[in-house]
Amino acid sequence: MQGNAVLVTGAAQGVGRQIALDLARAGAATLILCDRQRERGEAVLAEVRALGADGGFILADLAEEDEPARVIDAALARFRRIDSLVNVAAVTDRAGVADVSPPVWDKIFAVNARAPTFLMQAVIRHLKERQAPGTILNILSVNAAGGTPDLAIYAASKAALSLLTRNAAHAHRFDRIRINGINPGWVDTPGERQMQSVTLGLGEGWLAEASARQPIGRLLLPEDVSRLALFLLGDASFPMTGSLVDLEQYVLSVRD
- For residue range 66-93, what is the model confidence (pLDDT) as tens digits? 999 999 999 999 999 999 999 999 999 9
> Is the pLDDT assigned to residue 150 strictly greater than 70?
yes
pLDDT (average), residues 5-34: 97
Point out which residues pair with 2 in neighbouring strands.
none
What does the pLDDT read at residue 147?
87
Q: Which long-range contacts (CB under 8 A, 24 or more apart) does 205-214 make?
A: 210/186, 214/186, 214/249
Per-residue pLDDT tens digits for 26-54: 999 999 999 999 999 999 999 999 999 99
Cα–Cα dist 11/18, whole Å: 8
255: pLDDT confidence band, cut at 50, 70 and 90? low
pLDDT (average), residues 12-33: 97
> Is the pLDDT assigned to residue 253 strictly greater than 80?
no
Alpha-carbon distance values, 73 to 82, 118, 129, 168 (Å):
11, 12, 14, 21
94: pLDDT confidence band, cut at 50, 70 and 90? very high
Inter-residue contact 16 to 48 (CB < 8 Å): no
Burial letters 77-112, b for 16+ CB under 10 A, else e: eebeebbbbbbbbbbbbbbeeeebeeeebebbbbbb
Stretch among 25-34, 146-155, 227-236, 244-253 having the lowest mean pLDDT: 244-253
What does the pLDDT read at residue 250?
85
Q: Which helix (H) or strand (E) holds 56?
A: strand 54-59
Domain ranges of the chain: 5-185+222-249, 190-219
Inter-residue contact 15 to 222 (CB < 8 Å): yes
Per-residue pLDDT tens digits for 106-145: 999 999 999 999 999 999 999 999 999 999 999 999 999 9
What does the pLDDT read at residue 107?
98
pLDDT (average), residues 180-189: 95
Specify whether the backbone of 27 is left (phi greater than 0), alpha (psi in -120 to 50) or beta: left
- Whether the upstream peptide bond of residue 239 has omega within 30° of 0, thus cis, is yes
Q: What does residue 137 show for φ and ψ, rounded to 5 degrees?
A: -130, 125
CATH fold of 5-185+222-249 reads: Rossmann fold (3.40.50)
